[in-house]
Amino acid sequence: MGQSIDLTAKDGFTFPAYIAEPAGAPKGAVVVVQEIFGVNSHIRAVADGYAAAGYLAVAPATFHRVKPGVELGYTDEDMKAGFGLKTAVEALPAPGVLQDIQAAVDYAGKAGKVGIVGYCWGGLLTWRAAASVSGLAAAAPYYGGGMTTPEESALQPKVPVLAHFGNNDHWIPLPTIDDFRTAHPEVEVHVYECGHGFNCDQRGSYNAEAAKVAKERTLAFFAKHLT
């Protein structure tokens, strides 16, 4: 369904993005932000799913500034490599990869209002984008690693946010989710009976029921704010 195109950030950096287009006229757009495993088959499938739901989907390669062509699986070795790449991207001078997400949002804007959804590290980037990227209408971070820390929780989103977490996520302790909910009563927070990575059907932590309910809620959220 999709294809790869090149986008250019404000600083002139060019990077690829996976684009999936709906069958008919788009009812809006969704930027899909990768995990620490690159724009792999799972992230492409997620983008295809939003295209099937009627949205132009754009998945920028947020590792490209430190390593092109990253497409990892979910082994321990892949996890280690992904964490290393994430650490390298996080060490970039500000605004770092957020300017690539801005370029993706700008491109997606041709289809109408733009939402953003991200998973794991992409969930954290989605939360940051909700506070700093222009042109967004809604944001839906999934188990954003780090977003419940005091530093990240201090950010103030400029758009409506729907956040998904698992109650058995060893990366995001439940008490920190409670603190985040208290700090952000304006954010719609849902906690599911599952662990980290519950949306990815290629991971052992996949939870079909949680993924189904979270997707239904996200589609309803985007339908409210993007269409």
Catalytic residues: 120, 169, 196
Q: Which residues pair with 7 in a beta bridge?
A: 15
* Dist. CA 31–CA 141, nearest whole Å: 11
Distance CA(175)–CA(101), nearest Å, equals: 30
**Distance (Å, whole) CA 127 – CA 133:** 10
CA distances from 184 to 178, 189, 211 (A): 10, 9, 23
State both tokens at 79: 């996890």
Reading the block at residue 161, the tokens are: 């946010």
For 171: left if phi > 0, alpha if psi spans -120 to 50, otherwise beta; the answer is alpha
